[in-house]
Amino acid sequence: MSTPAQPKKPAAKKPATKTPTAKARASKTASAIAPEIRDALDADIASLEMGSKIWSTLTVAQRATVLGHVREAVAKNAAEWARTAAASKGLDEQHPLRGEEWLAGPYATLAGIDALISSLDAIAAGESPLKNVRTSLAPTGQVAVQAYPATKTDALLLNGFTGEVWLKPGVTADQARRRAGLAQLNPTAGGGVGLVLGAGNVTSIPILDVLYELIAFNRVALLKLNPTQDSLLTVFRKALQPLIEPGFVRIVTGAGDVGAYLTAHPGFSHIHITGSAVTFDTIVWGPGAAGQKRKQTGKPQLTTPITGELGGVAPIIVVPGPWTQADLDYQAEHVVTMRLQNSGHICISGQVVIISPDWKQKDDFLAALRRAYAKAPQRPVWYPNSDTKLAIAREAYPDAEQYGPRLLVEIDGTDDAATLETTEFFAPVLGIVEVDGTGQQFVDGAVAYANERLAGTLGANILIDPVTEAELGDGFERAVADLHYGNIAINGWTGFSFVAPTLSWGAFPGHTLEDVGSGIGIVHNALLLDDVERSVLRGPFRPFPRSVGRGRFSILPKPPWFVTSRTSAEVSEGFTRFMIDRNLARLAKTLGAALRS
């Protein structure tokens, strides 16, 4: 992750740095891989070039039909997908957390496909994807699109959650409706061939990124899997067969040498990566000292346009208020879920809990947090280089509490918080920092701390009880607007925003190649909105039945994505199977299991 931007100093004169031409770079990377691999990659790119021409001849309605076939293929292979993904992360078929792979894999993909098909159907009928979608004004006066729930299924399965997409300042509601559709408003304009460098942690990410290339930009795509997901190659090829057969998608595997060859290849019109800022910089500027010199002189070696989603250090702002013991326990489990989902190997994992020393219940909450952190099911820390990140945390904070492989770092007056604030650990490391005050003073201070001290702008979480939120009123809404993150969750986790396909996913606008932060551009965004600034999710502070008459209502008990849910695996699989077949009898059984969570 990048560190917070520093004031710019006048640039000193530097020796000229020679940037290799695209042709020379491609030749160098070609010599680094076996000829048969190079030939196979070139053949795939040639097939995609032909596929791009075919894709440009399809009507919007025909594209919706193609996505319908993809949906059928994903549904047919969902069980194998979830089982293979769980096994790749060291979770056997009895592990209580295997349900994560249903929700973050086939469920998220099916939801994304359904939402894209809905937008394509609207455009094919000569209507805007926003025809039946309400808009309002955010506290800043920006247009806020009421994007979630988008369907009755959303409202049923994930009851009590709502989400808005805020558009950039100056965009009107009429403009938003006219522009919604992106490349599908001009479907015959081909976007060329895109390269998608897939994420290695969450299995729906590479598939959803490929679909966004096709629909948002009219770009066919070559997907290179991260080596951590090579075991899913067969499943992915079966799931995307309706796109692979006509030449709209190709999927390949390989190590860094293959990635280097592809990023230097002249056949791509665009590159999209989900990964780290270090990898992004290596692609754009080159490796080592030579890459750093090119970055300093502003002369990238990459000439192909590039976007990326790169993670960050996500805050969890705990607003002081009158919480019951049940509230303390529930929200402590909520925080632990934000950190321990996928063993912390998620770009949106909550990393820094911001709490007030002036909150009378601070100690009670921290005690509940420690209990929840200790009792969450143990699982492997499996992502490459996680041991190195954990070692960095242990060295920086030798007094950190340890719960198996998990670390809990509480910053006191003598600790230097810089490592916690600027290192995306991508591992089970949870930090606690303090910001003084209560009420509006605390909220404003916590927002300033998150904006100014924590690396990245991808996602931020806020926990606030209904009484305190009502007391703060417009002041709280102003503070939310001041929080400069691409995804904000209020009484929810931004990981929920990831699986809500009509919300956007990406960093807050403004990052550049020179200071890429949490990335450039967005994905998901199934309403195909232009000029997106951020998404704001709101959820219930209390689960059912305590939600009755006490703030935002929800029929959900403990959500199935909570790592402490006793029925997570059963409910997550059940939700996915309902997405596949809409079997109400089976759903009733699943909801019964949810009540036992």
Q: Which CATH number goes with the domain that contains 440?
A: 3.40.309.10
Residues 253, 319 within the same domain: no
User: CA 357, CA 366: separation in Å to the nearest integer?
Assistant: 11
Residues 296, 195 within the same domain: yes
Q: Which domain holds residue 409?
A: 314-499+538-553
Residues 78, 220 within the same domain: yes
User: CA 190, CA 55: separation in Å to the nearest integer?
Assistant: 8
Residues 294, 430 within the same domain: no
Instruction: Give which of 298, 297, 277, 278 is closest to 288, Cα–Cα.
Output: 278
Contacts of 92 (CB under 8 A, 6+ apart): 86, 98
CA-to-CA separations, 370 to 138, 154, 336, 389, in angstroms, rounded = 37, 33, 9, 21
In the chain, what percentage of residues exceed pLDDT 70? 95
Residue 528 within any structural domain of the chain? no
Number of structural domains the chain divides into = 3
Residue 291 within any structural domain of the chain? yes
Q: Residue 8: is its pLDDT beyond 70?
A: no
Residue 522 within any structural domain of the chain? no
Residue 126 burial (10 A CB sphere; 0-12, 13-18, 19+): exposed
Residues 470, 356 within the same domain: yes
Residues 234, 89 within the same domain: yes
pLDDT tens digits along 208-239:
999 999 999 999 999 999 999 999 999 999 99
User: CA 167, CA 145: separation in Å to the nearest integer?
Assistant: 8
534 close to 510: Cβ distance less than 8 angstroms: no
pLDDT of residue 20: 56
Cβ atoms < 10 Å from Cβ of 467: 14
Q: How confident is the model at residue 61 (pLDDT cuts 50, 70, 90)?
A: very high
Tokens of 249: 């998608």
Biggest CA pair distance of the chain: 72
Tokens of 408: 């809990």
Instruction: Give which of 276, 273, 253, 264 is closest to 304, Cα–Cα.
Output: 264
Residues 472, 594 within the same domain: no
pLDDT tens digits along 144-198:
999 999 999 999 889 999 999 999 999 999 999 999 999 999 999 999 999 999 9
Residues 272, 388 within the same domain: no
Residues 410, 373 within the same domain: yes
Instruction: Give which of 322, 411, 408, 413 is closest to 361, Cα–Cα.
Output: 322
User: CA 541, CA 322: separation in Å to the nearest integer?
Assistant: 12
- Give 483's DSSP letter: -
491: left (phi over 0), alpha (psi -120 to 50) or beta: left
Instruction: Give which of 451, 337, 343, 321 is closest to 387, Cα–Cα.
Output: 343
What's phi and psi for 455, nearest 5 deg? Answer: -70, 135
Residues 277, 357 within the same domain: no
| Overall average pLDDT of the 350-362 stretch | 98
Instruction: Give which of 491, 501, 209, 538 is closest to 338, Cα–Cα.
Output: 491
- Parallel, antiparallel or unpaired: strands 401-403 and 406-410: antiparallel
| Overall average pLDDT of the 344-355 stretch | 97
Residue 505 within any structural domain of the chain? no
pLDDT tens digits along 12-50:
333 344 455 666 666 667 678 899 999 999 999 999 999
312 close to 347: Cβ distance less than 8 angstroms: yes
Global pTM value: 0.94
Tokens of 8: 């710019």
Residues 50, 82 within the same domain: yes
Q: Give residue for tokens 């292979």.
A: 77
Residue 173 within any structural domain of the chain? no
pLDDT of residue 9: 34
